[in-house]
Amino acid sequence: MSRPDVVVLKNVRLGFPKLWRADRATESSAPKYSAHAIIDPTTAHGKANLEAIKAAQKHVAVAQWGEKWQNVVKGLEKNRRSFRDGDAMTNAEGDIYAGYEGMKFVAANRSEKQGRPDVRDRRKSPTTEEDGLVYAGCYVDMVVSFFTVTKREQGGNGLFASLELVRFREHGEAFGGGMSSDEAADMLDDLEDDGDDAAFEVVTAGDEDDDDLL
């Protein structure tokens, strides 16, 4: 039976995944598992995801705040909402993180005491960190459930998303840790064409079979 607070975000890009070990945002905060679902608002999948998010958020907001739900949601600070603009995801230098520009995203999490979120492969079988299948930049389906908080000791009003499940969908360009081909080429010395280059045997790796992509 479907629940109006639960959304299956389809074909979203995975950002900042903390799926295997709970992490603390600050020294005093409780450890949480977390991930971002990055949504391209120009695609068919993206538009459908945004409509589903809108409906689920409205459902839980109306249940909590009644007729004033719109005023409450509009007044929420950025860190009190799980659904945000990608352009606001900037580093300390003010640069937008790779993959976020022009996008929307849902920041979902779950507390350590709730247990690790379910992580599956394309065929819905469990996958592990050692498998290396799920990483920042790949495309996934993500199941989240929206909820509200109002207690002052929890920071006051908020509209958040609980991270329930992540399923690998397809590979994408990994975020972070690399450099562009031009940047790599700039690190090489210039070679003179003197006709005296040594001969090298070039070995090309064949395509690996990947059952997860079938």
pTM: 0.80
| DSSP code of residue 127 | -
Q: Is 205 left (phi over 0), alpha (psi -120 to 50) or beta?
A: beta
For the residues of 52-68, what is the DSSP string, one character each? HHHHHHHHHHHHHHGGG
Q: What is the pLDDT of residue 182?
A: 46
Give CA–CA dist 167/199, Å, rounded.
Answer: 46
Q: What is the pLDDT of residue 28?
A: 84
pLDDT tier for residue 1 given thresholds of 50, 70 and 90: low
120-133: average pLDDT: 96
113-136: average pLDDT: 96
Tokens 């945000």: give the residue. 84
CA proximity to 118, closest of 137, 82, 142: 142
Average predicted confidence (pLDDT) for the chain: 85
pLDDT at 143 over 50: yes
86-98 pLDDT tens trace: 999 999 999 999 9
Please name the amino acid found at residue 205. Answer: A
Structural tokens at position 41: 């608002």
pLDDT tier for residue 139 given thresholds of 50, 70 and 90: very high
Structural tokens at position 189: 């010395």
Torsions phi, psi for 206 (to 5 deg) = -75, 165
Q: What is the pLDDT of residue 163?
A: 97
Higher pLDDT, 29 or 85: 85
- Domains of the chain, start order: 6-170 (2.40.50.140)
pLDDT at 197 over 90: no
148-194 pLDDT tens trace: 999 988 889 999 999 999 999 999 999 974 433 444 444 455 544 44
Other CB atoms closer than 10 Å to residue 213's CB: what's the count?
A: 11
Tell me the C-alpha to C-alpha distance, in Å, between residue 112 and each of 23, 35, 92, 142, 146: 9, 14, 28, 18, 18
pLDDT at 130 over 50: yes
